[in-house]
Chain A
C-alpha cells in the first residue's frame, strides 16, 4: 500500500509541474485546450493526493508500523479519535495534510471559475500549482510520509499532551487559514500579470479571504485554548516564536480584509492591497519556515532539518517575484481617487491598516531580535513577553478605538453632525462607564482604558443595529425583531462584520482580565488549606488510580470554599504514561464568567504532602466566547447574498 501512496505523491509532483507550465504556454500560444488540460490536471492532483491521504489514514488505523511515520506517532493503545488526528501530529503528515488542503482548494477554485475570470485562471492555476510543487518536492525528497522502517512491535505512541481535542482541531484550522491565503494571493498575482487591475480579483476572492482569515484566527485560538487546558502554566499565550509566526499573517490578513473595502468602494489603495496580500502570503510561508527550521529557539519547533530551507528558498522566490510584478505595474496601479479629509472613513481605515502592519512588524522584530542582534552586535540578546506586551498593548488599544470609529465615520469627509449622530451617545456612555470602573482602574491604567473603550465600541455597534431596525420598522411596518433580522439578512457583510467586532471586543475583555491575575503556590499537608482571592482551598487527600494499563494517575482532592460554603471538589491530577518520560499535569479548572479558578498539582511527597499552584484568572472565558461570536459573525458575512437584493 505504501508504494501506492508514494507513487501518488510522485505522480502529483509531475502533474503539478505540468500544470504550472502548461497554462502559461497556453496563453503564449493562444491555445484554449492547454488551459482546459491544466484545469483537469488540478482535479487529477486532488484525486491523487486524496488517495495518498486515505492510504496514510488507513495505515494508522491498521497499525502498520512498517511506515516510519505511523510507528513514530501512534501505538496500539491509541484511541481511534487520536489515531486519526495523528495524521497531522508530525512534520511529514502535516505536509501531506497541507498539500491535501491546497489540492482541494484548487479544485474548488477551478469549479467556481469554470465560466468566469477566464483571463485570470491560467495564472491562478500556475501559481497554485507551483506552491503545490513545493510541498510535493518536500514529500519526495526531504520528508517522505511513506518512508519504511523495519516494523517495531509497537509504535512509540502519540505524545499525551497532544491527546486533547484542542490539539486535534488546532493544526487543521490553522492550516486551512495558511493554505487559504494562497487563493487571494494567486488571484492578486494573476491580476498583475494580466494587467486587469480592477477589483475583480478582490471580489472573486472575498469569501476565500474571510474564510482563511477566520480559520487562521480560530487556529490560533484553539492553540491558546489547548495551551491553557493542557500545558498548565495558567496562561494561554506566551509570545513564543511559533505563536508569533501565526499571529503575524493574521494581523496583515486583518489589514488586508479591511483595506480591500476601500478599493471596492473608492478605487484606491491598489498598491497597498497588493503589498498586503503579498505580505500575508509571505508571512504564512515565513511562519512555516520558522517552525520547521529551528533558526529561532522555540518551545515547539519541529526540529532542525532541511525542510525549513525549502520554505526559505520558496519565500525568497515569492517575494522577489511579487515585488517585481508590483513594481512593474506601478504606473497602472494608480488610484483613481484620492484621500479628501483626514477625518473620513478612508483615512481611518488607512490608519487602522498602518497600525495592524505596525503590530506585525513589532512582533516580527521581537521574534527575530536574537538573530538580528547576533548579526549586528555579535551578541545574542533576546526579548520576551514583557517586550511584546509593552509594545502591543498600546497598539492594541488604539486599534480597539478604531474598531468603534472606522465603521461609522463618514466617507470622504466627516462632518460635525456625523460625529454627533454616531459618537455622542457612545462617548457619554463610555465616560459614565469609565467613571464607574475607576475603582478597578487603580494601578491598572491600560486595563481601565481597555474596558472603557470596549464600552464605547459595544455601544456604537448596538446603536447601529438599533437605528437600522427602527428605520426599517418605519418604512416597512415590520416588528422590531423581524426588522432586525431582515436588516442583517439583507446586508450580511455589514452586519456580519459588526458581529465579528462584538466578538473582538469580548476577546479584548477576556485578555484584559489578565491584568488582574493572581497566583500562589504552596506545599500543603493533608487537611491544610490556602486562600487566594475569594477562595479557600482545603487539601483533603491524594490517591493513585490506574484507569488503563498504560497510564497511572495521581489525583489530589480538594474542597473549594467561597464565602464559607463548599462550592466544588477540585481534582488536579498528574498522569504518568508508559510511553512518555515525564508526567503530565492535568489542570483542574473551575471556569465561570467572572473568573477561572485554575489548580495545578505541581508535585507530591511520600508523606502525603503536595505542592499546588493556584491561579485565579478573571474573565478568561470571554476570550473563548468572543471566538464563538466571531465564528457566528463570519458565517453571516460569508452566506450567499439575499436574492431580492439585485
Chain B
C-alpha cells in the first residue's frame, strides 16, 4: 500500500472521528449540565437536618412517615400542614396543591420542595408511596409528576 493513499484515507476518516466526537461531546455536555442543574438530594429527615446551612433554599426530596395526629388540613383551600419523621427526628411540612387520596396518618410519604430558615419544609410535591405491589403502587403517579 502506498503512503499517499493511506494519508488520504486517514484524512477522510479524521472528519468522521471529529464529527462523532462533536456529537458525543454535545450529548455529554447536555447530560452533565442537566444533572448539575436538575438533580435533587434524596434524604431522610435526620440527614436533611444535619446538613445545616447548606441545605436552605435548595430543591430536595425527603422521605418519612406522617406523624400520627399531625395533619392539619384546610378543607377549602388546597393546602395541608403535617409533620414527618424518620423515627429519630421530625420536621413540619407545608404543602400546597391537591392532596393525594392515600394521604393519611402513618403513611410513608415523599415530599419535594425547599427547607426554609424558619424550620418549615415548603413542599410543592407530595407523593404517597405504597408497598411494592404493582397494583397499588400506580396511585402515586399523579402526585409525583404534578407541577412540572
Q: Chain A nearest CB: distance from B148 CB in Å?
A: 5
Q: Which residues of B contact A301 (CB under 8 A)?
A: 132, 134, 137
When C-beta atoms are compared, the residue in chain B nearest to A609 turns out to be B76
Q: Is B120 an interface residue (CB 8 A)?
A: no
B141: which of A299, A350, A381, A385 is its contact (CB, 8 Å)?
A299
Contacts of A302 in B (CB 8 A): 132, 134
The one of B15, B37, B101 in contact with A582, judged by C-beta atoms closer than 8 angstroms, is B101
Is A613 located at the chain interface by the 8 A CB criterion?
A: yes
Binary flags per residue of A355-370, CB closer than 8 Å to B gives 1, else 0: 1001101100110011
Bound CA span A466–B9, Å: 39
- In the complex, the answer to whether A238 meets B144 with C-beta atoms within 8 Å is yes
- Classify the interface of chain A: helix, strand, loop or mixed: mixed
A358→B101 contact, CB < 8 A: no
Q: Give A382's nearest chain B residue, CB to CB.
A: B42
| Chain B, Cβ-Cβ closest to A523 | B76
Please give, as numbers and ranges, the residues of chain B lying within 8 Å of A365 by CB-CB distance: 31, 35
Nearest B residue to A94, CB-CB: B134
Does A354 sit at the interface, judged by CB under 8 A? yes
Distance in Å: Cβ of B48 to nearest Cβ of chain A = 12
Distance, CA A342 to CA B13, complexed state (A): 9
B148 A385 Cβ-Cβ under 8 A: yes
Kindly list chain B residues whose C-beta atoms are within 8 Å of the C-beta of A391.
27, 30-31, 34
Q: Which one of A90, A240, A361, A603 contacts B98 once the chains associate, using CB atoms below 8 Å? A: A603
| Alpha-carbon distance A605/B27, docked complex (angstroms) | 50
Q: When chains A and B are docked, how far (Å) is the Cα of A605 from the Cα of B13? A: 70
Q: Please, which residues of chain A bring their CB within 8 A of the CB of B61? A: 382
Contact of A581 with B136 in the complex, beta carbons under 8 Å:
yes
Chain B residues touching A, majority SS: helix
Query: Is the Cβ of B27 less than 8 Å from the Cβ of A299?
Result: no
Across the two chains, which residue of chain A brings its CB closest to B16?
A339
- Distance, CA A159 to CA B134, complexed state (A): 10
Given A301-B134, A521-B78: A362 in contact with B24 (beta carbons within 8 A): no
Residue total for B at the interface (Cβ-Cβ under 8 A): 49
A299 CB contacts on chain B under 8 angstroms: 137-138, 140-141, 144
| Cβ proximity bits B103-114 to A, threshold 8 Å, 1 near / 0 not | 000000000000
CB under 8 Å from chain B, chain A span 319-367: 338-340, 342, 347, 350-351, 354-355, 358-359, 361-362, 365-366
How far is the CB of B129 from the nearest CB of chain A, in Å?
8
Given A301-B132, A381-B42, A395-B30, the answer on whether A358 and B137 have CB atoms closer than 8 Å is: no
Question: Hey, which chain A residues are within 8 Å of B118, CB to CB?
Answer: none
B145 pairs with A385, CB closer than 8 A: yes
Q: Give which listed residue, B41, B78, B102, B136, contacts A523 with CB less than 8 A.
A: B78
Please encode chain B, from 1 to 44, with 1 for each CB lying within 8 Å of some chain A CB and 0 for all others.
00000000100110110011001100100110111011111110
Residue among B24, B40, B133, B141 with max Cβ neighbours from chain A (10 Å):
B141
Chain A residue with Cβ nearest B15: A342
Q: What per-residue 1/0 map shows which CB atoms of A365-388 lie under 8 Å from chain B? A: 110011001000001111111110
B119 at the interface (CB under 8 A from A): no
Q: Once the chains are docked, how many angstroms separate the CA of A369 from the CA of B148?
A: 19
Interface of chain A residues 538 through 592 with chain B (CB within 8 A) = 581-583, 585
| Contact A383 B35, beta carbon cutoff 8 Å | yes
List the A residue with the shortest CB-CB distance to B101: A582
Q: Which of B9, B31, B41, B145 contacts A338 (CB 8 A)?
A: B9
A383 pairs with B38, CB closer than 8 A? yes
Contact between B42 and A380, CB atoms less than 8 A apart: yes
Out of B15, B101, B134, name the residue touching A300 (CB < 8 Å): B134
Q: Is the CB of A90 within 8 A of B42?
A: no
Quote the shortest CB–CB distance from B131 to chain A (angstroms). Answer: 8
Residues of B within 8 A of A342 (CB): 15-16, 19
In the complex, the chain A residue whose C-beta lies closest to that of B9 is A338
Docked-complex contact A381 and B41, CB < 8 angstroms: yes
B70-125: which residues lie under 8 A (CB-CB) from chain A? 75-78, 97-99, 101-102
Contacting residues, chain A, for B148 (C-beta < 8 A) = 384-386
CB nearest to A582 among chain B residues: B101
Task: Judge whether A161 is part of the interface by a CB distance below 8 angstroms.
Answer: yes
Q: Provide 19 A-B residue pairs closer than 8 Å at the C-beta atoms, listed in order of the A residue.
A: A233-B143, A233-B145, A297-B129, A299-B137, A301-B134, A301-B137, A303-B133, A342-B19, A347-B19, A354-B20, A358-B23, A362-B30, A381-B42, A391-B27, A521-B78, A521-B97, A581-B102, A603-B98, A605-B76
What are the 8 closest A-B residue pairs judged by CB atoms, nearest first? A233-B142, A358-B27, A303-B132, A159-B135, A380-B42, A387-B38, A386-B38, A238-B145
Give B contacts to A, CB under 8 Å: 9, 12-13, 15-16, 19-20, 23-24, 27, 30-31, 33-35, 37-43, 61, 75-78, 97-99, 101-102, 129, 132-146, 148
